[in-house]
Amino acid sequence: MSDVDIQLANEISRFYDDPLGFVYFAYPWGEPGALEGFEGPDQWQADTLNDIADAVKDRKFNGHTAVDPIQLATASGHGIGKSCLTAWIVNWIMSTRPFCRGRITANTGDQVRTVTMSEISKWFSLSITGHWFIVNAMSVNHRAYPDKWRVDALTCREENSEAFAGLHAATSTPFYIFDEASAIPEKIWEVASGGLTDGEPMHFCFGNPTRNSGSFFECFRKNSHRWITRQIDSRTTKIANKKYLNRIIEDFGEDSDRARVRVRGLFPRGGDMQFIPSDVVYDAQKRGSGMYLGDDPLICGIDMARGGDDNCMIQFRRGKDAKSEKVYKIPGEKSRDSMKVVSLLTMILDRHKPDVAFMDSGSMGGPVADRLRQLGYHVIDVGFGENAIDVKHYKSRTAEMGSHCRQWLLDGGAIPNDPQLETELTSREFGHNDKDQLVLERKKDMKKRLGVSPDWADALYLTFAAPVPKREIPRGHLDHSPYIRNKSRKDYNPLSSMDSDEYL
């Protein structure tokens, strides 16, 4: 290094815990050229950089003893300057932390190449430390230590997840940056979390809050105690296109999901593509045991799986009550023996005596259903991928059953208050094809995207496979009240007492 660079390095070291100071020092604010007329960061950007500074000071990393990760998530509307803030953070880390290692990703390959990395390249070219680094289309490397002091941009395809594994920077800062974080697959989040154990780890996530589920959403909900979070209304920032934002408000209303996501930086009530809104599921889980007419049939839904990560799930519903009867789970590793599954199902059906059981015909469902019918049980096969009964409105039986389930939830249905069921019901996405038929996300696609297989939700869907006749109850046996409610099990958690070796 030249004497000038040594002097510069000493100056830059002053900003180890002061990213805002670095941003003011490193760039030629107000000078002729790209920053002429610009005085510095917007207020929200300055506040975010100060949050990072406080977290660095709190942890007091000593260069060898690992500290808790600094995790920051920012949800916002459009056009507030997230990409340039990302570039500043990358430049600050690279300039102040020798031998740091980073990974950057975004929702698509085009986004990470043409937006995120393009912005990083621009700000490195403006930086007083820019000549220390080699900036390529998908990486930034220190000139003297290109293999040990670097950040790489990667696509977020799930099959690429191992590239996000531990960065091994025990004496420095391993860091991750997720752009458009709502759409980053869950597998990437999972692997990246395992890379936050060395040194002074950092994880920064930015994006429009387009999905009401997933890890980005949970940064602001159940995991908010671990994250520094900000939700930015685009109208409060300097550079956002106010006319465009106001037009969204005028056209759709300030509390519409589009305005919440694109303008206000709030998560949608229903999600841009979320089939069953979170508030609908929340209300259904908070209800006591549902109400049903005395002659309402008891319907059983059986979602089948054979081995692997998925589970066989057995859910009952009677009228608006899917909460009173116990829910059963046969873990995937216990369901490889189809005859054992048949034996367990006969005990369950004998105990509850449903009027009908609708069984998923996929996996080993067909042979199991055949055997149960041989034994005298009323079991009907249902193929999730089969054509819908109402082909005008639905592409498949999945979409048809799901639509009936959603309407039932809206109409007062009660379901178990369990986070797993909530996740499965609220995470599925939907669309419409060129025939205007409702199309639901396939189970395997949902599992690939989120790492969640909707086994329990599918078992509930199956209870809506077809209309079931009312029960014939002899005169004199009907309750005088038009409704029967199972009050004794109002707060019963159907899965709380289940053991992996005992399913009944």
55 with 70: CB under 8 angstroms? yes
Whether residue 289 sits in one domain with residue 184 = no
Same domain? 428 vs 299: yes
303 and 179, same structural domain? no
Q: Are residues 312 and 201 in the same domain?
A: no
Q: Is residue 153 part of a domain?
A: yes
Would you state the pLDDT for residue 271?
A: 56
pLDDT at 327: 95
CATH number at residue 183: 3.40.50.300
Residue 7 within a domain: yes
pTM greater than the 0.75 cutoff = no
Q: Are residues 353 and 437 in the same domain?
A: yes
- Asked if residue 393 belongs to a domain, the reply is yes
Q: For 291-366, list the strands marked E by DSSP.
A: 291-292, 298-303, 312-318, 328-330, 356-360
Domain boundary among 206, 222, 239: 206
Provide the terminal-to-terminal Cα distance of the chain, rounded to the nearest Å: 72
Domain with 344 in it: 278-489
Does residue 216 fall inside a structural domain?
no
User: Do 197 and 292 fall into the same domain?
Assistant: no
Number of domains in the chain: 2
Any idea what DSSP says for residue 264?
A: I
| Same domain? 194 vs 295 | no
Q: 471: domain CATH number? A: 3.30.420.240
202 and 285 in a single domain? The answer is: no
Please indicate, yes or no, whether residues 379 and 461 belong to a single structural domain of this protein.
yes
One domain for residues 46 and 178: yes
pLDDT tens track of the chain, all 504 residues?
788 999 999 999 999 999 999 999 999 999 999 999 999 999 999 999 999 999 999 999 999 999 999 999 999 999 999 999 999 999 999 999 999 999 999 988 888 999 999 999 999 999 999 999 999 999 999 999 999 999 999 998 877 788 888 788 899 999 999 999 998 988 899 999 888 999 999 999 999 998 877 899 999 988 899 999 999 999 999 999 999 999 989 988 887 878 888 999 988 876 557 788 877 888 898 888 777 778 899 999 999 986 666 789 999 999 999 999 999 998 877 777 888 899 999 999 999 999 999 999 887 778 899 999 999 999 999 999 999 999 999 999 999 999 999 999 999 999 998 878 988 898 888 888 888 899 999 888 888 776 678 999 999 999 999 999 998 766 554 443 333 333 333 333 334 333 333 444
Residue pair 265/181 in contact (Cβ under 8 Å)? The answer is no
Parallel, antiparallel or unpaired: strands 291-292 and 101-105: unpaired
Residues in the chain: 504
In a domain, 300, yes or no: yes
Residue 477 lies in a domain: yes
Evaluate whether residue 41 is within a structural domain: yes
Q: Which of 142, 171, 206 is the last residue of a domain?
A: 206
Closest among 450, 456, 455, 447 to 417, alpha carbons compared:
456
Give the per-residue pLDDT at 274. 79
For residue 453, the model assigns a pLDDT of 82
- Co-location of 393 and 305 in the same domain: yes
In a domain, 461, yes or no: yes
- Are residues 325 and 469 located together in one domain of the fold? yes
How much is the pLDDT for 308? 67
Give the residue from 176, 206, 236 where a domain finishes.
206
